[in-house]
Amino acid sequence: MRLIPTTILFALWVSSAVAAGSVSDGQRDFGRCVGCHAIQPEHNGIGPSLADVAGRRSGSAPGYNYSTAMTGAHLTWDDTSLDRFLANPQGVVHGTKMFMAVPDPRQRQDIIAYLNTLK
């Protein structure tokens, strides 16, 4: 039987802890997003409403005027795509109107956990 080194186990534990995200921390961190995004359905601002964003196709929130880049991105917003997009919006959807990134992986996971509650 081969034993897994402690450092690898620790790294896996930290990775799974980050992936889980904290809804309460995400709600707090979402404060950086409210200047552009609302959480009420069909209440669009500078950015689209993020109500029901989890599982939604990119560029499909009712009543929002998306960039051509976002309507053509053909993404489904799940944990992975949201994480990639929040880390580097322009890198994932070149030409998107979204200009703010969330560089901290923990904050991204927390925000995603919160977004998943907006159903």
In order of 28, 31, 85, the CA distances from 25 in angstroms are 5, 10, 19
Give mean pLDDT, residues 37-42: 96
Q: Cα(10)–Cα(31) distance, rounded to whole angstroms?
A: 31
Confidence grade of residue 20 (pLDDT, cut at 50, 70, 90): confident
Within 8 A by CB and 6+ apart from 16, the residues are none
With a cut of 80, say whether residue 85 has pLDDT above it. yes
Mean pLDDT of 83-106: 97
Cα–Cα distance between 36 and 22 in angstroms, integer? 22
Output the pTM of the full model: 0.82
Percent of the chain whose pLDDT exceeds 90: 82
Mean pLDDT of the 51-76 span: 97
The tokens 């109107």 sit on which residue?
A: 97
Domain range summary for the chain, segments of one domain joined by +: 23-115
Q: Which fold has domain 23-115?
A: Cytochrome Bc1 Complex; Chain D, domain 2 (1.10.760)
